[in-house]
Amino acid sequence: MAPTTRQLRTALFAFAAGLALAAPSRAGGPGSAGVQVLKTDVSPRAAGMAGAFAAVADDAYAANYNPAGLGQLYLPEASAMYLSGFDDAKLQYLSFAMPLPIQGLAGLDKPAIGVSALFSDSGQFLYSPIDGNGRVNAVTMDAEKTRVITFSYAEKVYADVLDLEGYKASVEQYLGFSAKYIGSELLESYSASAVAIDAGWLIRDVNLGLGFGASLSNLGSGLKYYKEAAPLPTILRLGASYRPPTIMSQSLLLALEGDFYLNEQLKSLRAGLEYHFQDMFNFRLGYRGAEDNKGPTVGLGINYESFALDFGLALGGEVFNSSQVSFSYKFAGWRTAEVRRTQRQFRDEAPAARPGKKAAPERRKPAPKPEKKKDTDFFWIY
């Protein structure tokens, strides 16, 4: 039995209250949380918009910013990303997300699932102890290696047209959750692991193009390498987005976001835009403020049929610059086959389903043609 509107609103209120009360009981200072890589932007598209993505979250990278955004997916999507950070640090990120061929718990639309894997290498550490004879014995070892495996689920939980003093608002709401495993190794000698959960909420006015999102990431047990324990960097993201109506083949996306690192008493304010034109090119700009590594960001994207290549760069940071590139593919043929099945079903049922019109005379159906082995009819919606 699908939940009622009152039940859904109660659940959304409880979720928002949980976000507001989620601050850890013991908050340290800057850098007191472990696995700092969990604070890194892992999407060139989001990075080009300064990470203001919690109220957008409409691709395979949604789970890293707001898992509720996965509920917006209508095609399976796979992506691979590589990031070059400070000195010799690097990061790889693999993700896959897809809508399921079943109805969600709310009975409104198909839910979506996602799985991702993050592998981080913080570079080399030079250890130079001095022995009793005054000689230096230099030893090089890995500073830190981290792996994060994440499973996510999201679905649309509310859809209705609301009359707001004459304005018809077409409102959609999504909820999403993630469970993740985190493993880390320090100096090739100490290892630790943890589990954590993420939760997200997203609301959109489809007619006006407004969106609001909230998410809570990395809520879970801390890491204990030897005797000292460090909490995870719990992040509360609150964002808003605006997408004006598309003009010809051009569209604009604006986003604002505040990130609050609850375990470290830090915050980051972010603003970004994305300009999409000629159905192929994307240009992105952003700015990060109220943080140590503040500064502008820029990004470029190219779409061709089902393929996408994106590049993001953080410029002029006071601490370090970083760049990342990703390659994505959308399985458009999967949805095309489903659309054709729906169209065939509509044609079969249409004569009897249209009131006020005479039913078309029954025609003899031709013999079915053998289906092609490969579906080459693609379409792209970005």
Cα gap 337→341, rounded to integer Å = 6
State how many domains the chain has: 1
pTM: 0.79
Residue with tokens 């699908």: 2
SS3 18: helix
Which tokens hold the place of 376? 């080459």
Q: How many CA atoms lie within 13 A of 108 on its CB side?
A: 20
Is there a domain that residue 324 lies in? yes
35 domain-assigned: yes
Q: Do the domain assignments include residue 64?
A: yes
**Higher pLDDT among residues 382 and 294, named by residue:** 294
d(C-alpha 150, C-alpha 100), whole Å: 18
**pLDDT class for 274, splitting at 50, 70, 90?**
very high
Which pLDDT band, with edges at 50, 70 and 90, does 287 fall under?
very high
Q: Which domain holds residue 272?
A: 5-337
> Distance from CA of residue 373 to its chain's centroid?
34
Q: Is 347 inside any structural domain? A: no
Q: pLDDT by residue (tens digit) across 198-251?
A: 999 999 999 999 999 999 999 998 888 877 788 999 999 999 999 998 888 899
DSSP summary character for residue 10: H
Distance CA 92, CA 244 (A): 34
Q: Over the chain, what is the mean pLDDT? A: 82
Nearest to 145 by CA among 162, 124, 122, 113: 122
Whose CA is closest to 46, among 246, 235, 297? 297
In a domain, 349, yes or no: no
> Does residue 139 form part of some domain?
yes
Q: What is the pLDDT of residues 127-144, one digit of tens each?
A: 777 777 777 777 777 878
Does residue 352 fall inside a structural domain? no
Residues shown for the chain: 382
- Cβ–Cβ < 8 Å for 215, 181: no
Average pLDDT, integer, range 89-110: 93
Residue 34 resides in a domain: yes
Instruction: Report DSSP state, residue 3.
Output: P
Q: Is the pLDDT of residue 93 over 80?
A: yes
CATH classification at residue 100: 2.40.160.40
Task: Tell me which amino acid residue 249 is.
Answer: S
Tens of pLDDT along 10-63?
444 444 444 444 444 455 677 788 899 999 999 999 999 999 999 999 999 999
∠ CA 25-31-36, nearest 5°, is 100
